[in-house]
Amino acid sequence: MKKASLIVANSEHSADMFYATGFRAPDPFIYFSYGSRKAMILSALEFDRGKTESHQGIKIFRYEDFIKNGRRGMGDVLRVLAKSLKVEQFRVPADFPLALADFLRKHKIDVVARAKGFFPERKFKNEKEIEYLREAQRITALGMQRAEEILRASKLDRDGGLHWSDAALTSEVLRAEINIELIRNGGFAASTIVAGALQGAEPHNEGSGPLYKDSPIVIDIFPKITATGYHGDMTRTFVKGKAPEIVNQAYDTLFKTRETCKMKVKTGVIPAEVHNDAVQMLNDAGFPTGRREDGKNFGFFHGLGHGLGLEVHEAPYLSPRDTTPLRGGEVVTVEPGLYYPEWGGIRLEDVVVVREDHAECLTFYPNKLEVD
């Protein structure tokens, strides 16, 4: 049976498509490979741009040339393609759109989703990609630095609210300033987290409203770098003023946990074990994980880390579910967090490259809780 590999997606949402083509386009287009041949099918709207902006060695066809008998839908074009290649099976990514697959199957073209990843090699970064990720972390640090500067420069209102640039300092204002700093440096962030006080107890709460002194503010920045498409990812937690004793203790415990876990990361290590070690360390230090009677989660209730690359969250995962030994070239975050509905949250996140006998850290940013 003759087979071809096929992606139909827009490359802003599909990292596989961007990886395959290097071509950014906001609407779905076709990429296929067949033996050693690689090609894209683009509409007139994108054709000329595709020729100059995509990876070398990819042949580019015109969508319009695959339109037969007035049929112009994506499925019709793929039928014409299959016929002209004499292909009986398309191998596609796991997230290939179901309706399109069913259409092709109805017309006797086999469609098989590759469960293990369309480009398994995307997990393993080469040195050029690691350089992109290092640069992404450098730009991300500029955003964090901007946040810290603003917290430092902010004054206190009578009620303990932070005040900056003649206005209340809110999560929204601080997020905007971080994102602006990223834009000025070639990065681009959709949903930077700036979560103060009890909002920080929900790990993905983006944060809203006024920020206050003496309670932790979680700042999680994960921009896409415009030039390369790779992401940075960094979390720090700050207290403007004086941290309560419990927050100080939690911070020190998290810092030690993160550093210990980073030292465990290397080739051959089981991700789930590193995660479980972190849970254990936090628990042993007096920070248990569980669920309150009112149903709220407390402690450390997300994965310790995730792969980082063209996607912010990608394989491998430092989570209880991932038992495939780590291998060199994988790049993962290490980000233990502690979240308590009584006082808020803390998370500290670095990025490391898995090397043969150690983890190389790509994050260079101080870990200091209190900001004067």
Residue 242 interacting with a copy of itself (CB under 8 A): no
Residue 312 interacting with a copy of itself (CB under 8 A): yes
DSSP 70-88: TB-SHHHHHHHHHHHHT--
Residue 273 interacting with a copy of itself (CB under 8 A): no
Nearest to a copy of itself of 45, 153 (CB atom)? 45
Which of 97, 120, 209, 268 is the binder for a copy of itself (CB under 8 A)? 97
The C-alpha atoms of residue 314 and residue 308 are separated, in whole angstroms, by: 6
Tell me the closest approach of the beta carbon of residue 296 to a copy of itself, in angstroms.
Answer: 6
Tell me the closest approach of the beta carbon of residue 291 to a copy of itself, in angstroms.
Answer: 8
The C-alpha atoms of residue 54 and residue 362 are separated, in whole angstroms, by: 29
Nearest to a copy of itself of 12, 273 (CB atom)? 12
CA dihedral 305, 311, 312, 313 (to 10 degrees): -40
Cα-Cα-Cα-Cα dihedral sign, residues 150, 154, 160, 161: negative
Residue 100 interacting with a copy of itself (CB under 8 A): yes
Residue 314 interacting with a copy of itself (CB under 8 A): no
Scanning 178-186, 250-258, 267-275, 358-366 for contacts with a copy of itself by CB under 8 A, the matching segment is: 178-186
Tell me the closest approach of the beta carbon of residue 28 to a copy of itself, in angstroms.
Answer: 9
Tell me the closest approach of the beta carbon of residue 44 to a copy of itself, in angstroms.
Answer: 4
The C-alpha atoms of residue 197 and residue 341 are separated, in whole angstroms, by: 9
The C-alpha atoms of residue 367 and residue 372 are separated, in whole angstroms, by: 14
Size of the site for a copy of itself (CB under 8 A): 50
Which of 296, 327, 355, 358 is the binder for a copy of itself (CB under 8 A)? 296
Both tokens assigned to 299: 């402690």
Ranges within 20-59 binding a copy of itself (CB under 8 A): 24-27, 43-49
What own/partner pairs with CB < 8 Å and gap ≥ 24 does 207-211 have? 207/171, 207/175, 208/170, 208/171, 208/172, 209/170, 209/171, 209/172, 210/161, 210/162, 210/168, 210/169, 210/170, 211/161, 211/162, 211/169, 211/170, 211/171, 211/174, 211/240
Residue 121 interacting with a copy of itself (CB under 8 A): no
Which of 18, 32, 61, 96 is the binder for a copy of itself (CB under 8 A)? 96
Which of 4, 39, 58, 101 is the binder for a copy of itself (CB under 8 A)? 101
DSSP 170-212: BHHHHHHHHHHHHHHTTEE-S--EEEEGGGGGSTT----SB-B
Query: Is 362 in contact with 134 (CB distance < 8 Å)?
Result: yes
Query: Is 307 in contact with 265 (CB distance < 8 Å)?
Result: no
Nearest to a copy of itself of 126, 323 (CB atom)? 323
Tell me the sheet residues that pair with 110. 89
Tell me the closest approach of the beta carbon of residue 289 to a copy of itself, in angstroms.
Answer: 9
Q: Tell me, residue by residue from 56 to 95, as one string, x for binding to a copy of itself by CB under 8 A and - for no binding.
A: ----------------x-------------------x-xx
State the residues that interact with a copy of itself by CB under 8 A.
Answer: 12-13, 24-27, 43-49, 72, 92, 94-102, 111, 113-115, 176, 179-180, 183-184, 188, 190-191, 201-206, 296-297, 301-302, 312-313, 321, 341
